[in-house]
């Protein structure tokens, strides 16, 4: 039988580590960027003057999507953990297709149904990260691959929202039609990247020797792993929860914060800001790939995440004192927030498994952490929606930034101390 194009590419990638690294990085980056186009563009709209029961329509849309996304994270603990490589592509395509359908319905239904549409839109998308990362973990170059994938949601957040603003301002696309149209723009990119992910070879013998084998985990294996590492995981997940809430708040309501500050951004503003943030995070984290000792790398990540949280707090204080303008504040809080957030989503859990030599998957741990993090975000938005005395988005963002600077370093110091017994055993 004549080999298919996919199998030929797979053999070439297996034989050429440099080519594999480039293709895998670009495929994961592009696939997750394309997913973002089905999730985030609606947040570029302000939906001014539209309310349901005295509550802003945009807030209700955000809360509904986040609730669906949060539930998806919990569903993903089982689905992502048990999905083998052969099922992942079909799952990714099917889940994104399911998320697109409610976007098409969005402009054609009454406001209360629009809220339901955003819930359904979020429901499949929370599993996409773990499914894509499953192709990257457990490899000698996972550090590099994970970093490339992680900066995708920094760039993608700005790019997809800028596409949304462009469709509204330059093509006169109505706000409610814009999310579906923005998604369609990224369909070709999604198709190409999924084809490339499908062609990636399995981890090599050398990969397994250095990073430990990564196999699907059933229910008993997941429960046993969590019970065995309960304290250490809790101390790692808590700072991640704080970073997730802050990152989602800043990301989703950046347009609203700027509006409160009297800033009217042009369509390219979001792309420019997040591109600067993404490049800064890449520069700060790229060198850690060269640290071969897993415990040293893990300790370095603890320090960098703490420094990221401190940068968020320091830049927020500088903004309050009038030393920074809104744009510079957005860049620095993004840089600090993502410097803390990105390692959790890419390499920290992979390094943890490699250092402790425990059986498991980083995708499973990411899914667990994400489920708790987004539950906290959803709870915050629900509380703010219900409360009549909630602070403005600008004030909420400032308070969150100052809190990160104090709490995250303390929790991570405790996390590192809790890992001391495991370090003693493996070293």
> What are the structural domain ranges in the chain?
10-199+214-426
Asked if 135 and 24 touch (Cβ cutoff 8 Å), the reply is yes
Cα(29)–Cα(164) distance, integer angstroms:
20
Cα(222)–Cα(225) distance, integer angstroms:
5
Determine how many CB atoms are found less than 10 A away from the CB of residue 185. Answer: 16
Cα(130)–Cα(366) distance, integer angstroms:
7
Q: Decide if pLDDT at 153 tops 60.
A: yes
Q: What is the DSSP letter of 357?
A: T
Asked if 232 and 419 touch (Cβ cutoff 8 Å), the reply is yes
Lowest-confidence segment of 136-140, 178-182, 356-360 by average pLDDT: 356-360
Q: Decide if pLDDT at 127 tops 80.
A: yes
Indicate the CATH number of 10-199+214-426 among 1.20.1250.20, 2.60.40.1180, 1.10.10.10, 3.20.20.140: 1.20.1250.20
Q: For residue 187, what are the contacts with CB-CB under 8 A and spacing of at least 6? A: 34
Asked if 147 and 342 touch (Cβ cutoff 8 Å), the reply is yes
Lowest-confidence segment of 74-83, 194-203, 336-345, 355-364 by average pLDDT: 355-364
Cα(308)–Cα(171) distance, integer angstroms:
38
Query: What confidence score (pLDDT) does residue 318 get?
Result: 97
Query: What confidence score (pLDDT) does residue 1 get?
Result: 45
Alpha-helical (H) ranges within 37-84 are 57-82
Q: Decide if pLDDT at 385 tops 90.
A: no
Q: Decide if pLDDT at 165 tops 60.
A: yes
Predicted confidence (pLDDT) per residue in 235-285, tens digit: 999 999 999 999 988 887 787 888 888 888 776 787 788 888 888 888 888
Query: What confidence score (pLDDT) does residue 190 get?
Result: 97
Q: What is the DSSP letter of 191?
A: H
Query: 75-93: b or e for each residue (b if 16 or more CB lie within 10 Å)?
Result: bbbbbbbbbeeeebbebbe
pLDDT, averaged across the chain: 87
Asked if 80 and 130 touch (Cβ cutoff 8 Å), the reply is yes
């Amino acid at each position: 039988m004549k080999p298919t194009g996919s199998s030929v590419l797979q053999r070439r990638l297996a034989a050429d580590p440099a080519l594999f690294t480039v293709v895998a990085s670009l495929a994961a980056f592009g696939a997750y960027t394309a997913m973002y186009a089905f999730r985030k563009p609606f947040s570029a709209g302000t939906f001014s003057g539209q309310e349901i029961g005295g509550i802003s329509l945009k807030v209700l849309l955000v809360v509904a999507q986040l609730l669906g996304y949060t539930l998806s994270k919990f569903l993903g603990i089982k689905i992502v953990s048990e999905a083998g490589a052969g099922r992942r592509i079909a799952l990714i395509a099917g889940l994104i297709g399911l998320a697109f359908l409610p976007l098409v319905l969005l402009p054609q239904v009454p406001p209360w149904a629009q809220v339901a549409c955003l819930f359904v839109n979020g429901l499949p998308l929370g599993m996409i990260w773990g499914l894509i990362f499953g192709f990257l973990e457990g490899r000698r170059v996972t550090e590099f691959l994970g970093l490339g994938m992680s900066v995708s949601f920094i760039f993608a957040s700005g790019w997809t929202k800028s596409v949304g603003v462009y469709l509204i301002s330059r093509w006169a696309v109505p706000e409610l039609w814009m999310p579906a149209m923005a998604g369609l723009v990224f369909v070709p990119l999604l198709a190409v990247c999924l084809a490339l992910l499908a062609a990636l070879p399995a981890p090599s013998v050398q990969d397994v020797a250095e990073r430990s084998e990564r196999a699907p985990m059933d229910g008993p294996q997941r429960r046993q792993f969590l019970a065995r590492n309960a304290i250490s995981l809790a101390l790692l997940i808590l700072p991640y929860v704080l970073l997730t809430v802050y990152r989602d708040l800043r990301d989703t309501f950046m347009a609203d914060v700027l509006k409160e500050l009297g800033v009217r951004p042009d369509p390219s503003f979001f792309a420019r800001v997040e591109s600067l943030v993404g490049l800064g995070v890449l520069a700060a984290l790229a060198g850690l790939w060269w640290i071969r000792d897993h415990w040293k790398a893990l300790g370095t990540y603890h320090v960098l995440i703490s420094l990221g949280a401190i940068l968020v707090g320091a830049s927020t204080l500088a903004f309050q004192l009038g030393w920074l303008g809104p744009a510079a504040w957005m860049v620095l809080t993004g840089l600090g927030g993502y410097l803390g957030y990105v390692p959790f989503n890419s390499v920290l859990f992979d390094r943890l498994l490699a250092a402790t030599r425990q059986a498991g998957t980083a995708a499973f741990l990411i899914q667990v952490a994400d489920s708790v993090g987004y539950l906290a975000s959803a709870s915050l938005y629900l509380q703010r929606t219900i409360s009549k005395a909630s602070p403005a988005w600008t004030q909420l963002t400032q308070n969150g930034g100052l809190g990160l600077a104090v709490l995250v370093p303390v929790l991570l110091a405790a996390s590192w101390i809790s890992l001391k017994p495991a370090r003693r055993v493996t070293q």
